[in-house]
Chains A and B, each alone.
Chain A
Amino acid sequence: MKHESLNQFKDSFTHYTELRAQENRNNRVTLTNGDVTGNVNAVTSGISARVYKDGNWGFSSNPEISDESITRAVKASTDNVQFMNKKDTSRCGIFLPETQANYEMDFTTPQNRQTQKHWVDYLRDIDGYIEKKYPELLSRNIVLGGLDMEKSLFTSDGSESYSMTPRALLYILLSIEKDGAPVSVMDVWGGLGQLEDKFSEPTEFYKEVDVLVEKLKKKANGVHPEAGTKDVILDADLAGILAHEAIGHTTEADFVMGGSVAGDYLNQQVASPLVTLIDYANTFDGNTCPVPVYVDDEGTQSDDVVIIENGILKSYMHNKDSARHFEMKPTGNARAYEFSDEPLIRMRNTAFVPGTSSLEEMIASIDDGYYLKRSSNGQADSTSEFMFGIGMGYEIKNGKIGQAIKDTTISGVAFDVLKTVDMVSSDMVWSAGGMCGKKQWIPVGMGGPAIKCKVNIGGR
């Protein structure tokens, strides 16, 4: 549904205007204890226009994509900004920075598309393997999902872009009964690409299932962690969430304007000198990131944002309006989830930069602490205080991995925790399935090396 003719409507623009046509395609199959409990396909598409004039915005969207509906959307958004301008003239004369970018990026699979029956059978194969080999499990949930986001954009600044950015994910959630209560573990695989790109043979996941069941059994026999401030190693999954939730959000320029604590820290030491944190636009170390963005939904070329460099807070993530406010350059972070959503400042691929330590050295350096592998959820706020659920982790005793731990929570103030980082591993692992909620949901990439730091861990 590439729309190459959006520029024909430029004569109807009377102010700064963005015109976007978008289609999101979702496909999901769910198996619960072998039954197909979800078998769903959903497509939403439409057109949106956003207009800026004198410090105000007007927005309108319509599910129809036709010459007439596009003209209506431009007119409705222009009417909306005029309504706002009549009510409030205090920002009269404010202009946005101009940006121009032209780019096309299409990640559509080169492979033949498979049928829904293929994917149902794919999941049934994995489920059959689990059921046969591990009859002692209480429950098996397997979910396969694909999301294609396809956008065409034209702006009055002259930007034109097209992108087709897919994501394919496989979730396996298993539980077992222990002492009369269920215990569960979950893992997720996949990332950038369509289902055919990420999942070829179900047998490839047998070994992953074996590993997951082993973790489940260790966790079922695990111990409650001892509450308190502890030395921990946050593996890539948790380091990524720390980067995104606890630091990243505080440095989104709209949050800074709203009063986030990062507003007071620019160019100050906020972390150990070992810490460098970057929101990558599309490429890390020559490889495409999980959520590559080349031109954002305001028509700005997407650049990497170095948020923390060697422990010093260097910059924020911007859209055009916040860049105007801070007198900085827009960074290409404005993104919208659905056609009916306005672009907001969103992270793309946020990660700590790898260091020089090995994971083995990091574990060996801890006498009494924890190696935390997998998060179950995460939240943070404007103070950088965070809480992450821990779904899988281990004790570290005398420099060696010990028993698995039961579900717990870690918390802290991220800008304080980052000051305690004294080792960063040399590897980089991207998490597969990040989704971020901020008025709208949107796919994000997050990941990193493992980091060693001090956090509060909840006990019982």
Chain B
Amino acid sequence: MERNELLHYCIDKLKRAGAEKVECSVSFSEKKELNIDSGEMTLLRTTFNTSLGISVIKDQKKGSTSINKTDKGSIDQAVEQVIELAKASQPDEAFDIAEKQPTKSFSKGDETADLDSMYNRMEEFLGYVNSTYPTVNLEQAVLDFTYSRSYFQNSNGVNFDINKGMYGFYPGFLSKDGKDTSSMNGTFFSALNLDKPLHKYCSIDTLLKQSTEQIRTQQVQNKFVGDVVVTPDCVSDFLGFITTDISDGKMITGNSLFKDKLNEQITHPGLTLHSHPVSEEICDGYFVTDDGYIAENNTIIDKGVLKTHLLSLYGSRKLGKSRAVNDGDAYLVDPGSMSRDSIISGIDKGVLLARFSGGSPANNGDFSGVAKNSYYIEDGEIKYPISETMVSGNIREMFENMGEVSKDRVDFGYCIFPWISFKGLTVS
């Protein structure tokens, strides 16, 4: 079956089986992946995958299934099963599918991996790390290229096809000197091509250098309340607390701190946060939302004011609020006016927080966690790397007491973040 025909077949069969509303998507992908393990590049993987997703609404009851086959027998079985799932459910007036939009094709990136180039970049990276940072142990590094062709259709006539080819690189490492070992650290970037050495992307070189400094650490001597400068690698953890709070799960259950705060000041006016899935600035964005709408860029927080919740079609109908024009992610924080170094030089006592091991905060916003790969700051200077140090506070209060946003930002390919300082956090 041709790919477009395949989705037509699914929708037609589901409609004939009694479904009132149907959405189907199918994706075919090929991934090439080179792996470094324990400092040696020893594994090349080629994986093919297929994903067929089907959701139906029947009598306002919804069922969903996904399989990784596209032969007629498997599709027929999946259709039968998803109808049974829907029948087994309970009606909910909030279930719906996207309305008709113009048929459109989207495309980004190459169709095939340049495997020799990938190998050469990895070999170059290994050589660079070994010669520049001899105490660094590359515990694992993964460079991949994934090309996918995806098709989305629904029974309202939505019909999109999307081609995307993207490189991704994750290095994970620590430093070791004798019996002293640093904490592990790592980062990730996405890119359309590999036109420069891997260590020159995002924060990789900075983190490698810092890792060598973190072999021997000190504990912060006394508990204090001070400023915390959060690095671009770590800032997503804290922004994630807000974006999770304004999304379906917490909004629908009423557990969101910001459920009634639309168009109100929820952070310091220095913060402007966008989600730009279709911006030129974000190379690894997305074209279509999970609900089947053409994704648009939006501003989530404008000078501290909450401009939108991140509600899906279901969430918006359930709560009687507006649907977000995208699924979030592809985040971008507007730069401030000060350099990273100037922000640090203005701090009397605090921490440069480069990795936060802390998980989700409590529903009331209280959080605490360990400052990993981080530094103690005193009198405007980075003094020493720290360990066994906790940072705690409350997310809502933390963003209200935000200090400065740096003009320097790091581009990870899937997001762009600055350094942000926060006042009044407890360090112990």
Interface centre among B47, B64, B86, B363 (most CB of A within 10 A): B47
Give A363-400 interface residues, CB cut-off 8 Å to B.
376-379, 381-383, 385, 387, 389
Taken together as a complex, chains A and B put the C-alpha atoms of A264 and B183 apart, in Å, by 15
A381-B46 contact given A182-B254, A227-B428, CB 8 Å threshold: no
A181-B44 contact given A258-B139, A460-B426, CB 8 Å threshold: no
Judging by beta carbons under 8 Å apart, are A63 and B69 in contact?
A: yes
CB-defined contacts of A387 to chain B, threshold 8 Å: 357-359, 369-370
CB distance from B273 to the nearest CB of A (A): 23
The interface bits of chain A over 30-58 (1 if a CB of B lies within 8 angstroms of the residue's CB, else 0) are 00110111011111111000000001111
A273 at the interface (CB under 8 A from B): no
Q: Which residue of A lies closest to B65 (CB)?
A: A41
CB-defined contacts of A459 to chain B, threshold 8 Å: 392, 428
A80 at the interface (CB under 8 A from B): yes
CB distance from A44 to the nearest CB of B (A): 5
Judging by beta carbons under 8 Å apart, are A456 and B176 in contact?
A: no
Judging by beta carbons under 8 Å apart, are B139 and A382 in contact?
A: yes
A379-B183 contact given A61-B47, A80-B44, A139-B253, CB 8 Å threshold: no
Q: Which residue of B lies closest to A344 (CB)?
A: B37
Judging by beta carbons under 8 Å apart, are B92 and A36 in contact?
A: yes
Q: Which of B63, B92, B183, B357 contacts A35 (CB 8 A)?
A: B92
CB-defined contacts of B139 to chain A, threshold 8 Å: 254-255, 258-259, 382
B42 at the interface (CB under 8 A from A): yes
Judging by beta carbons under 8 Å apart, are B176 and A259 in contact?
A: yes
Which of B13-21, B77-85, B149-157, B341-349 touches A?
B77-85
Q: How large is the interface on A (under 10, 10 to 19, 20 to 34, 35 or more residues)?
A: 35 or more
CB-defined contacts of B362 to chain A, threshold 8 Å: 183-184, 406-407
A428 at the interface (CB under 8 A from B): no
Judging by beta carbons under 8 Å apart, are B90 and A124 in contact?
A: yes
A257 at the interface (CB under 8 A from B): yes
Judging by beta carbons under 8 Å apart, are A340 and B174 in contact?
A: no
CB-defined contacts of A63 to chain B, threshold 8 Å: 48-50, 68-69
CB-defined contacts of A429 to chain B, threshold 8 Å: none
B179 at the interface (CB under 8 A from A): yes
CB distance from B371 to the nearest CB of A (A): 10
B194 at the interface (CB under 8 A from A): no
Judging by beta carbons under 8 Å apart, are A258 and B46 in contact?
A: no
The interface bits of chain A over 215-250 (1 if a CB of B lies within 8 angstroms of the residue's CB, else 0) are 000000000000110000000000000000000000
CB distance from A460 to the nearest CB of B (A): 7
Q: Which of B44, B68, B94, B182 contacts A43 (CB 8 A)?
A: B68
Give the number of A-B contacts (CB < 8 Å). 238
Judging by beta carbons under 8 Å apart, are B370 and A377 in contact?
A: no
Judging by beta carbons under 8 Å apart, are B364 and A182 in contact?
A: yes
A342 at the interface (CB under 8 A from B): yes
CB-defined contacts of A409 to chain B, threshold 8 Å: 358-359, 368-370, 390, 392
Q: Which of B64, B65, B90 contacts A120 (CB 8 A)?
A: B90
Judging by beta carbons under 8 Å apart, are A183 and B252 in contact?
A: no
Judging by beta carbons under 8 Å apart, are B63 and A389 in contact?
A: no
CB-defined contacts of A120 to chain B, threshold 8 Å: 88-90
CB-defined contacts of B236 to chain A, threshold 8 Å: none
A331 at the interface (CB under 8 A from B): no
CB distance from B207 to the nearest CB of A (A): 14
A76 at the interface (CB under 8 A from B): yes
A96 at the interface (CB under 8 A from B): no
Judging by beta carbons under 8 Å apart, are A382 and B428 in contact?
A: no
CB-defined contacts of B179 to chain A, threshold 8 Å: 261, 264
Judging by beta carbons under 8 Å apart, are B43 and A59 in contact?
A: yes
B62 at the interface (CB under 8 A from A): yes
B279 at the interface (CB under 8 A from A): no
B424 at the interface (CB under 8 A from A): no
Give A167-195 interface residues, CB cut-off 8 Å to B.
175, 181-184
B8 at the interface (CB under 8 A from A): no
A442 at the interface (CB under 8 A from B): no
Q: How large is the interface on B (under 10, 10 to 19, 20 to 34, 35 or more residues)?
A: 35 or more
Judging by beta carbons under 8 Å apart, are A340 and B47 in contact?
A: yes
Taken together as a complex, chains A and B put the C-alpha atoms of A264 and B94 apart, in Å, by 58
Judging by beta carbons under 8 Å apart, are B364 and A381 in contact?
A: no
CB distance from A390 to the nearest CB of B (A): 10
The interface bits of chain B over 148-170 (1 if a CB of A lies within 8 angstroms of the residue's CB, else 0) are 00000000000000000000000
Taken together as a complex, chains A and B put the C-alpha atoms of A5 and B385 apart, in Å, by 57
CB-defined contacts of A181 to chain B, threshold 8 Å: 257, 363-365
B41 at the interface (CB under 8 A from A): yes
B388 at the interface (CB under 8 A from A): yes
CB-defined contacts of A115 to chain B, threshold 8 Å: 84, 88
B140 at the interface (CB under 8 A from A): yes
Judging by beta carbons under 8 Å apart, are B88 and A56 in contact?
A: no
Q: Which residue of A lies closest to B63 (CB)?
A: A39
Judging by beta carbons under 8 Å apart, are A87 and B119 in contact?
A: yes
B38 at the interface (CB under 8 A from A): yes
Taken together as a complex, chains A and B put the C-alpha atoms of A119 and B85 apart, in Å, by 11
CB distance from A409 to the nearest CB of B (A): 4
CB-defined contacts of A62 to chain B, threshold 8 Å: 48
A60 at the interface (CB under 8 A from B): yes
Give B358-410 interface residues, CB cut-off 8 Å to A.
358-366, 368-370, 372, 387-388, 390, 392
Q: Which residue of B lies closest to A118 (CB)?
A: B88
CB-defined contacts of B39 to chain A, threshold 8 Å: 258
CB-defined contacts of A55 to chain B, threshold 8 Å: 40, 42
Judging by beta carbons under 8 Å apart, are A138 and B44 in contact?
A: no
Q: Which of A35, A84, A87, A458 contacts B428 (CB 8 A)?
A: A458
CB distance from A68 to the nearest CB of B (A): 13
Taken together as a complex, chains A and B put the C-alpha atoms of A261 and B359 apart, in Å, by 24
CB distance from A338 to the nearest CB of B (A): 9
Judging by beta carbons under 8 Å apart, are A80 and B253 in contact?
A: no
Taken together as a complex, chains A and B put the C-alpha atoms of A162 and B66 apart, in Å, by 25
Judging by beta carbons under 8 Å apart, are B38 and A257 in contact?
A: yes
CB-defined contacts of B66 to chain A, threshold 8 Å: 40-44
CB-defined contacts of A77 to chain B, threshold 8 Å: 46
CB-defined contacts of A39 to chain B, threshold 8 Å: 62-64, 85-86, 88-89
Judging by beta carbons under 8 Å apart, are A81 and B44 in contact?
A: yes
CB-defined contacts of B69 to chain A, threshold 8 Å: 45, 63-64
B45 at the interface (CB under 8 A from A): yes
Judging by beta carbons under 8 Å apart, are A57 and B65 in contact?
A: no
Judging by beta carbons under 8 Å apart, are B426 and A456 in contact?
A: no
Taken together as a complex, chains A and B put the C-alpha atoms of A284 and B304 apart, in Å, by 55
CB-defined contacts of A61 to chain B, threshold 8 Å: 45-49
A411 at the interface (CB under 8 A from B): yes
Taken together as a complex, chains A and B put the C-alpha atoms of A227 and B139 apart, in Å, by 34
A310 at the interface (CB under 8 A from B): no
B181 at the interface (CB under 8 A from A): yes
Judging by beta carbons under 8 Å apart, are A36 and B140 in contact?
A: no
The interface bits of chain A over 79-106 (1 if a CB of B lies within 8 angstroms of the residue's CB, else 0) are 0110110011001000000000000000
Q: Which residue of B lies closest to A26 (CB)?
A: B66
A132 at the interface (CB under 8 A from B): no
Taken together as a complex, chains A and B put the C-alpha atoms of A76 and B45 apart, in Å, by 9
Judging by beta carbons under 8 Å apart, are B68 and A44 in contact?
A: yes
A117 at the interface (CB under 8 A from B): yes
Judging by beta carbons under 8 Å apart, are B174 and A258 in contact?
A: yes
CB-defined contacts of B365 to chain A, threshold 8 Å: 181
B323 at the interface (CB under 8 A from A): no
Q: List 23 A-B contacts (CB under 8 A).
A: A32-B249, A32-B252, A32-B253, A41-B63, A45-B68, A59-B44, A61-B47, A64-B69, A77-B46, A84-B42, A87-B123, A91-B42, A116-B84, A181-B365, A182-B254, A227-B428, A258-B174, A340-B47, A381-B184, A381-B372, A382-B174, A407-B366, A458-B428
Known: A61-B48, A228-B428, A389-B359. 15 other contacts (CB 8 A): A35-B94, A41-B85, A42-B67, A58-B45, A60-B47, A83-B44, A139-B254, A258-B37, A261-B179, A383-B183, A387-B357, A387-B370, A389-B358, A409-B359, A458-B428
The 8 A-B pairs at the shortest CB distance, nearest first, are namely: A258-B139, A181-B364, A377-B359, A139-B253, A458-B368, A259-B137, A117-B88, A407-B362
